[in-house]
Amino acid sequence: MQLKQRINAFTQLGKFLLEINNEKDTEINLVLKRAENENGWFTQENINFALNSWSKALTETNLQHWFSSYSFAESQPKTIAVIMAGNIPLVGFHDFLSVLISGNKILAKLSSNDKTLLPFLASQLIKIEPEFKNYIEFTEGKLENFDAVIATGSNNTARYFEYYFGKYPNIIRKNRNSVAVLTGNETKEELKNLADDIFRYFGLGCRNVSKLYIPEKYDFEPFFKAMFHWKEIIHNHKYINNYDYNKAVYLMDSFPLLDNEFMLLKEDNGFSSPISVVFHESYTSLEAIKQEIEHKSGNIQCVVSKAGIAEEIPFGKAQNPQLWDYADGVDTVDFLLKLK
């Protein structure tokens, strides 16, 4: 296949994803329901959001723009072993896309938390372009006969990945979280959009805001008012169980909390807050917080702000990355093309 064929195939897949959201047939409904049954965090709302996001990303214009910045020459495909996370629906799709559209073969090991959606989309891709059949393999066994590795997991699993795959060309991703830097001058709409960055996917994604940097003596009232349009999240039993548990633990330890009855704010200098909890930390000057973020950039996936922070993104855009917004800031396509 030539690059043009691959771009056309993924463009058609994007159109298929758009059709899924507009009109679901029985087979598709069964697939989406099975994904939800296998993972209680994968609600139909969150699955549909992921599908819709990818339908918007997979346009011919986006795909051509993405690859226009690379020097590309067709060559013998490599086999790339991809170990995927399963924290949010289709979290491994970008790696899947990057491997295939760069002309390589994928040997994918799915997370047990997300093992339905990607194989389904792969089957649709093969219907669109049958030549992909020889480029896609899913395995539950030991990974063998590959040329390079892309693995996503926790800090603990990263040590395991480095031990077993260190001799191969690799991208190994660890824990990261996203932060928001507030100045107190945000509009109601901006804070409402920030709520989407916090609560989408129940806060389980690395691009979800799990920590706020706020000026000293910050007025939380507008913030909490803006969060209120996500109040229905409390009706998810898995979420409310986490909220109740974390609130009980913090109160037993006498930690001061801010609580709006479906989220907790805790002052903490960490990044990885539990489900239903957002950490916050005060700053004395924007210059100081810029230096803090730069110093701790290895822990941060993205920064949501309008304060002039380097590479900041607008409120509400954390879970809508562009194709060229790479996890951990590592250019996956550049890595893949250099293998050749």
Tell me if 46 sits within 8 A of 91, measured CB to CB.
no
* Residue-level pLDDT at 22: 63
Domain boundary among 148, 175, 202: 175
Residue 310 has pLDDT above 90, yes or no: no
249 domain residue, yes or no = yes
Please give the pLDDT value at position 183.
Answer: 96
What are the tens digits of pLDDT across the range 246-267?
999 999 999 999 999 999 999 9
Rounded CA gap, 275 and 199, in Å?
9
**216 & 170 share domain:** no
Confidence of residue 24 (pLDDT cuts 50, 70, 90): low
Q: Is residue 321 domain-resident?
A: no
Domain that holds residue 206: 177-305
47 and 133: one domain? yes
Residue 316 lies in a domain: no
Q: Are residues 75 and 136 in the same domain?
A: yes
Task: Please check whether residue 337 lies inside any domain of the structure.
Answer: no
Q: Is residue 130 part of a domain?
A: yes
pLDDT of 25 higher than 80: no
Question: Within this chain, do residues 148 and 205 fall inside the same structural domain, yes or no?
Answer: no
Q: pTM for the whole thing?
A: 0.94
Q: Are residues 228 and 240 in the same domain?
A: yes
* Domain contains 323: no
Residue 258 belongs to some domain of the structure: yes
User: Which CATH number characterizes residue 69's domain?
Assistant: 3.40.605.10
Domain with residue 285: its CATH number is 3.40.309.10
Same domain for 26 and 168 = yes
- Residues 170 and 186 both lie in one domain: no
Please state the domain count of the chain: 2
Q: Say if 28 falls within a structural domain.
A: yes
pLDDT above 90: residue 115 = yes
